[in-house]
Amino acid sequence: MTLNDQNANVPNPMPAPEPAAHHGIASRLRNYFLTGLILVGPIYITISLTWWFVNWVDDAMRPFIPVGLRTETYLPFRVPGYGVIIALSALTLLGFLTANLVGRTFVEFGENLLNRMPIVRPIYKTMKQIFETLFSKTGPSFGKVALAEFPAGMWSVVFLAAPPTGDVAARLPGGDYVSCFMPCTPNPTTGFFFYAPRAQVIELDITVEQAMTLIMSAGMVQPNADAQKKLAALVENGRAGRAPAAVFPPPAAAG
Q: What is the pTM of this model?
A: 0.55
**Structural domain contains residue 37:** no
Q: How many structural domains compose the chain?
A: 1
pLDDT confidence of residue 48: 92
**Structural domain contains residue 38:** no
Which tens digit of pLDDT belongs to each residue from 123-150? Answer: 888 777 777 666 665 545 567 888 988 7
**Structural domain contains residue 137:** no
**Structural domain contains residue 189:** yes
Report the candidate in 207, 102, 187 with the shortest Cα–Cα distance to residue 144: 207
Rounded to whole angstroms, the Cα distance separating 80 from 53 reads 11
Contact (CB, 8 A) for 177 and 154: no
**Structural domain contains residue 107:** no
**Structural domain contains residue 79:** no
Determine the average pLDDT of the residues in 55-77: 84
pLDDT confidence of residue 47: 92
Query: Phi and psi (nearest 5°) for 145?
Result: -115, 140
Which tens digit of pLDDT belongs to each residue from 213-229? Answer: 888 887 777 776 555 56
- DSSP label at 100? S
Contact (CB, 8 A) for 180 and 160: yes
Q: 160: domain range?
A: 144-242
